[in-house]
Structure 1
Amino acid sequence: MFKLSDITFSYQDKIGLKNLNIAIKKGETIGIMGPNGCGKSTLFKLLTGLISPQHGTYEFDNKLISSKSLRNPVISNYLHSHIGYVFQNSASQLFNESVTTELAFGPTQMGLSNQEIDIRVQDCLKLLDIEHLANRVPYQLSGGEQKLVAIGSILTMNPPVIIMDEPFNGLSPKYQKLVQQLLLKLKAVNKTVIISSHNYYYINDVIDRCLLFNEQHTLEKDLTPDAIESNADLKNSLEY
């Protein structure tokens, strides 16, 4: 589904990603880990078309994704309708007057019927245990509550790929467990899920592979959970 070949991306004053080669299959759940500034968020922006590689090639579903190809509305719409992205700063993607309208916004833009939109919104409120927030204003919510609403705003669109940047940040232990259970449900219905986390403990039960980035902005290791579990020092270094 995803194929990145020799990808490099630099900002004006620093490297974002360097010589990156990754392949992700449909239905895989992938963990992304590494120190702050190693390129995790840059990778997510590239996968979702917010930025384009300066060197190398990126293919999604056998379609070349570049600054040029994204000017084609067919390619752009295909990418953006197939990938849902939950930002690390959830507040930046919430802009409606209530949680209910926030969850309904994406399905409304998709042209779904009012009945189908209502079903998706109510199902999502229940799934995330945020029914009590339905009529609240998103920007007045706590950071953890905003995170759940942002996740919900992606789930109501039901994309085949879901990318979450630090979804456990700011959540109470109760809601951290809820998100873990949600990830298992997404895995069970064959969604392709890519998650970044600073703590392996949150994702070890759901991921198929863990991609470890280093401070040089390169992919250092591509490991299965079994490989991590068999290396006590490595496992301990990922739980912080």
Structure 2
Amino acid sequence: MLIAHISDFHVFAHAPETSLVRKDAADAARKVVADIAAHTPLFDAVIFTGDLADGGSAADYELLKEILAPLNMPVFVVPGNHDKRDGLRAAFQAIVPFGPGPYLHYEACVGDLRILALDTLVNDKVYGALDPSQLDWLESRLAEHHSGPTIIAMHHPPFPSGVTALDDMSLRDGKEPLARIVADCDTPLIILAGHIHRPFQAIWFGAFCQVGGGPSFQHALDLGLEAPEPGSISEPYAYLILRLDGPDTLTNHKRYVSL
């Protein structure tokens, strides 16, 4: 099974909300989508870990739907801090099984792959959070036996990148109970996230974790303990590919796209 992991397109219909977002963000997103759509063999699914839009307007999501239209496989999305829940739900409710209630968490399956999507959006804040209701839901779903691999998709990573300023604005509330749930899980877990605008991998309480880069801009790498938020840097962009061979074998690849 092949899964494409993308993140942080920050598409806007009229004007960007974020100063670092490139003015041609929509064109950059189209190039990434075209590469995914043309990939051989075909991907089984695409997982998009948040900040689909930069402002979250209805026009932003209409543009995004047009950009994603060439993808002829299931596309799963979670909200980022620049998204709006109502707009995201309205735009994707026909293809994403959002549950009832205020949050956009849900469960989906593609073949023997289980996807548990979490909603870490805190309105008008850069950082993310998980409240007890979502954590209880996640724990209950993981308690159900599943023989295949399980992916947890979320925008704000609970695991550190080592870029101090960016980690300070990642997942805050709910990180400790999530760590306990992950550590106690007796099946292999994969956690996909975004937000950092740099691709990297980690092992966190036994789970394989990765953050997808953002074609809208990429942060420079600064691992200083007291470093300020890094600015953007011009580096080659790559989306991430997961190859899953049963529940016990995972291969990770980067696919470079010229933007």
| TM-score normalised by length of structure 2 | 0.32
Higher helix share: 1
Q: Flag the structure with more relative contact order, 1 or 2, with Cα contacts below 8 A and sequence separation at least 6.
A: 1
- The TM-score, its normalising length taken from structure 1, stands at 0.34
